[in-house]
């Protein structure tokens, strides 16, 4: 049984609603006016040239990219370690630990940001890139851990036992039997954690000073009071790049598993 016409129309309207503000940013970035207008009046690339002239935004972009790469690599490594460890334990304690690894999802980013800020203050430390990395590790770990746990759950333990019986050392089994199964999940995790880190404002907002303003934080503070076409140009790039990357990762490795949709693939 399919869905009725009414449902399909409502779904279409809903998808339009979801994509509308993104499409608006991309279209507005090509406008010719020196203020943001929608629908755009005339077409021009001046907003893009303007964006290149804002060096403080370029610095923030570089910072955000460094942060995203570091966080993606470290959180995926830690998530993989955690998934392997939990798989070996297989006890009630392991289940409780697994809940701890998903716990950051339940803590509002705002609260976590305040809390980390107050710890930094208590220790008399300043805000720096390592602090930002550590803060983002917490919000990214649940995604990494969950993805790798899901991938490892599909391995037949007999394959590992067979390798061990045939004389492979535990490390050799992990390296050549267990981890290859997790490779698609590891790639998906690198992508998701990089995206979460790059897009985050909730935590980065509290850990920002003049030198540690990530791009979303800088854009947020700018659009709080100003409105300029070059923001739309930046936005258009930041919308198109991850979407294209997501389609590519989905093609090659499948992101669907993260969303619990493996059954009908």
Partner 1 sequence: MSAPEPRRSGAVGLLAAPVAVLGAMLVVPLLVIVANSLVHGAPGVVGGWPPTLAVYADVLGDPRVLAVLGRTLVIAAIATACAVLVAYPIAMVIVTARSRAVRAFCTIAALTPLLVSVVLRTFGWQVLLGAGGPVAAVLTALYGPRRLLGLIGTDVATVIGLTHMLVPFVLLGLLPALDRIDPNVLRAADTLGASRVRIFWRVVVPLSRPGLVAGAMIGFALGCTAYVTPALLGGQANPVFAALVYERNFVAFDWNTGAALSVVLLAVVVLSGVVIGRFARWPRRTRQRRPVGAGTG
Question: 45 to 74, contacts with partner 1 by CB under 8 A?
Answer: none
**Nearest distance from C-beta of residue 58 to partner 1, angstroms:** 17
Q: How many residues does the chain have?
A: 265
Are 219 and 231 in contact, with CB atoms under 8 Å apart?
yes
Residues 145-174 that bind partner 1 (CB under 8 A): 145, 160-161, 164-165, 170, 173-174
Are 207 and 131 in contact, with CB atoms under 8 Å apart?
yes
Largest CA distance in the chain: 72
| Residue 78 interacting with partner 1 (CB under 8 A) | yes
Please identify which residue in 55, 122, 156, 209 interacts with partner 1, judged by CB under 8 A: 122
Reported for 170-174, long-range contacts at CB under 8 A and 24+ positions apart, including other chains, are: 174/84
- The HSE-up count of residue 83 (CA atoms within 13 Å, CB side) is 29
Please identify which residue in 30, 101, 143, 230 interacts with partner 1, judged by CB under 8 A: 101
* C-alpha to C-alpha distances, 154 to 77, 90, 169, 255, nearest whole angstrom: 20, 15, 22, 16
Reported for 154-163, long-range contacts at CB under 8 A and 24+ positions apart, including other chains, are: 154/181, 155/181
Please identify which residue in 32, 65, 84, 177 interacts with partner 1, judged by CB under 8 A: 84
Give the range of 47-55, 147-155, 180-188, 196-204 binding partner 1 by CB under 8 A. Answer: 196-204
Residues 243-262 that bind partner 1 (CB under 8 A): 243, 246-247, 250, 256, 259-261
Please identify which residue in 49, 73, 88, 159 interacts with partner 1, judged by CB under 8 A: 88
Give the range of 52-60, 147-155, 181-189, 225-233 binding partner 1 by CB under 8 A. Answer: 225-233
| Residue 32 interacting with partner 1 (CB under 8 A) | no
| Residue 263 interacting with partner 1 (CB under 8 A) | yes
The 102-121 contact track toward partner 1, x by CB under 8 A, reads -xx-xxxxxxx-xxxxxx-x
Give the range of 14-22, 42-50, 55-63, 146-154 binding partner 1 by CB under 8 A. Answer: 14-22
Total of residues contacting partner 1 (CB under 8 A) = 98
Give the range of 35-43, 45-53, 148-156, 179-187 binding partner 1 by CB under 8 A. Answer: 35-43
Angle in degrees, CA 36, 37, 43, rounded to 5: 95
Please identify which residue in 47, 54, 238, 257 interacts with partner 1, judged by CB under 8 A: 238
**Nearest distance from C-beta of residue 187 to partner 1, angstroms:** 16
Are 75 and 192 in contact, with CB atoms under 8 Å apart?
no
Nearer to partner 1, 49 or 99 (CB): 99
For residue 28, which of 239, 232, 234 has the smallest C-alpha distance? Answer: 232
Cβ-based neighbour number of residue 214 at 10 Å = 28
Give the torsion sign (CA, 245, 246, 251, 252): positive
Nearer to partner 1, 21 or 52 (CB): 21
């Amino acid at each position: 049984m399919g869905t009725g016409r009414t449902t399909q129309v409502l779904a279409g309207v809903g998808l339009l609603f979801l994509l509308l503000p993104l499409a608006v940013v991309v279209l507005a970035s090509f406008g010719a006016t020196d203020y943001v207008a929608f629908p755009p009046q005339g077409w021009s690339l001046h907003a893009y040239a303007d964006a290149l002239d804002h060096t403080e935004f370029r610095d923030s972009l570089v910072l955000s990219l460094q942060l995203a790469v570091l966080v993606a690599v470290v959180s995926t490594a830690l998530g993989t370690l955690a998934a392997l460890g939990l798989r070996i334990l297989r006890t009630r304690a392991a289940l409780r630990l697994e809940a701890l690894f998903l716990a950051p999802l339940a803590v509002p980013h705002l609260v976590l940001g305040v809390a980390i800020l107050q710890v930094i203050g208590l220790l008399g430390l300043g805000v720096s890139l390592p602090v930002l990395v550590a803060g983002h590790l917490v919000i990214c770990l649940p995604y990494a851990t969950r993805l790798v746990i899901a991938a490892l759950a599909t391995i037949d333990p007999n394959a590992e036992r067979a390798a061990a019986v045939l004389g492979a050392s535990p490390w050799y089994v992990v390296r050549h039997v267990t981890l290859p199964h997790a490779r698609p999940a590891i790639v998906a995790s690198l992508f998701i954690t990089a995206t979460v880190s790059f897009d985050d404002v909730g935590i980065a907002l509290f850990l920002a000073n003049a030198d540690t303003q990530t791009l979303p934080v800088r854009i947020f503070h700018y659009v709080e009071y100003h409105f300029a076409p070059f923001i739309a140009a930046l936005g258009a790039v930041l919308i198109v790049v991850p979407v294209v990357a997501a389609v590519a990762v989905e093609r090659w490795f499948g992101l669907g598993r993260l969303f619990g949709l493996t059954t009908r693939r």
